[in-house]
Structure 1
Amino acid sequence: MTALLHVEKLRKSFGGLAVTQDVSITIAAGERVALIGPNGAGKTTFVNLVTGHLRPDGGRVLLGGVDATTFEPTRRVRLGLVRSFQVTRLFPSMTPREHLGLAVMQRRGIAGRMFGDYRANAQVSAEIDELLGLFALGSVADRKIAEIAYGLQRLLEIALALALKPKVLLLDEPAAGVPQSDTPLIDAALTSLSPELAVLMIDHDMDLVFRFATRVVVLAAGAVIFDGSPSEVTGHQRVREAYLGSYADDRSAA
């Protein structure tokens, strides 16, 4: 399999405190990887380093074989690395259709034109309709964000990420704040992702992680303590001590 994201011995310290300690992760096309760990493990710092929002003290980030360690976030997006955020960053007065219109036009390099132009562009409109259908957002496509359920807002954020045509998708707690009744919508969205897409998901919802991931990476105190299959992680002693605890016992008993 082709390595779309290769992180090699990434290091970052703040005020002498090592937050990321020689972290190495490789993700190939089609892989579904979950990054988990206790609060303070360094997951957010790691993602900010990978996406270019922080500069590492050492190590490298390669995207499709290109050394992107010094690249700004927008340049990494152009190389196919796209991130969703833990907290929604949508505009309350805009509609899902308008959000997707902006995202598609940005990717196509025509976002500088008058906003209404996307409606007159058949290719852009068709792409928007496809994304709305893929994420079951058609019924709320023209309603303001402030008027639609939070679970649907989270779906829109994934749709927006896909509108940028990523090769590597980083999902930061896609189900955070979503009511339990809406989690099947998130599951369906994750299932519908292209099989060629490399996905790294951060989440504390272990049930979601085990439904989603083909591989699990565990961070603790800024270092990788496990990288392997979901079936192996619950039996790993250091992981049980650092994070999973009673959840691992419950899965073993199930």
Structure 2
Amino acid sequence: MNPVFEVANLSKAFGGLVVTNDVSLAMAPGDRVALIGPNGAGKTTLVNLVTGNLSPDSGEVRLGGETVTAVDAAGRVKRGLIRSFQVTRLFQDMTPAEHLGLAVLQRDGKTGNIFGNFLRMPDVMAEVDELLGKLGLASLMHRMVSEIAYGQQRLLELAVALALKPKVLLLDEPAAGVPQSDTGRIEQALAELPADLAVLMIEHDMDLVFRFAKRVIVLASGTIIFDGRPEDVTSNARVREAYLGSYANASPVA
């Protein structure tokens, strides 16, 4: 199967500090990949490079075989590369329905209608209803974001990302800041993502990594030191030294 997303020999330095060091990886449709590593490993910088928020010093980013290294962040979104953030970036005075309606209009290039009443657009609202229903947010669709729980806000962010019809979805700690009582719903939503969607998730919670990922990439000092099966990561000497520590003595969650 041809890769839907590729990074080839990507490098980035700030002054004399190399934060991304000749990184290469590829993902096929349907991949479930976790990107892990210690704080300061360069995970966020790598995501900023592949999404177009930073320019690399060298290397390439490809989507569906097209080189997009010189394409800006908005252009990559249009090509199906969608990112969520570690800290929610929702508008507190807007409703879930408004967030999703605007995302659908943006995706379809109908920004001229962005200030129109999309609540009266049957095709838009059908999609809004379906997405909110799938993520258990239907009853909250007309509530202000400021009035709903943080875990539900994280689910809404995922719904907005899905409304943009991603081919590649980058998730930055999707359960960060969410109470333990609400993480099960987020994990369920992750398990129900479209089967053909390639997902790269940055995550520190190793239990969640082992439940979600079919493949684990470990980044340390800007360099990939492991790329393989979750069941092999804890036995890798370099990974144990660089990151896992005592967790390596535990068994992966089935």
2:189 is matched with 189
**Shift of residue 119, structure 1, vs aligned partner:** 1.2
Following TM superposition, by how much is the alpha carbon of 1:116 offset from its aligned partner in structure 2, in angstroms?
3.9
In 2, Cα distance between the equivalents of 1:85 and 1:253?
Answer: 26
Shift of 1:70: 0.7
| Counterpart position of 2:52 | 52
Residues 114-148 of structure 1: CA deviation (Å, up to 9, x unaligned):
53431121111100001001111012111111110
What residue number does 2:203 align with?
203
Aligned length: 254
Is 1:104 equivalent to 2:104 in the alignment?
yes
Q: 1:229 to 1:143 in 2, by over 3 A?
A: same
Give the Å deviation of 1:106.
0.7
| Deviation (angstroms), 1:187 | 0.6
- Higher mean alpha-carbon deviation, 138-147 vs 4-13, is at 138-147
Cα distance in structure 2, aligned partners of 1:37 and 1:114: 40
The structural deviation recorded for 1:250 is: 1.9
Q: Is the 8 A contact 1:93 1:146 kept in 2?
A: yes
Aligned pairs (5 A) from 1:1-254 = 1-251=1-251
* SS of alignment partner, residue 194 of structure 1: coil
In structure 2, give the amino acid aligned to 1:59.
G
Report the TM-score when normalising by structure 1.
0.98
* Post-superposition offset of 1:188: 0.7
Task: Tell me which stretches of 4 or more aligned residues in structure 1 moved more than 4 Å.
Answer: none
TM-score (ref. length: structure 2):
0.98
User: How far 1:111 moved relative to its partner?
Assistant: 2.3
Structure 1 unaligned segments of length 5 or more: list them: none
Identical positions, percent: 64
Whether the 8 Å CA contact 1:102–1:115 is kept in 2: the answer is no
- In 2, Cα distance between the equivalents of 1:12 and 1:89? 26
SS in 1 for 2:112: coil
* Superposition RMSD in Å: 1.3
Deviations 1:145-164 (A, max 9, x none): 11100000000001100100
For structure 2, the residue ranges without an aligned partner over 5 or more in a row are: none
Amino acid at match of 1:157: E
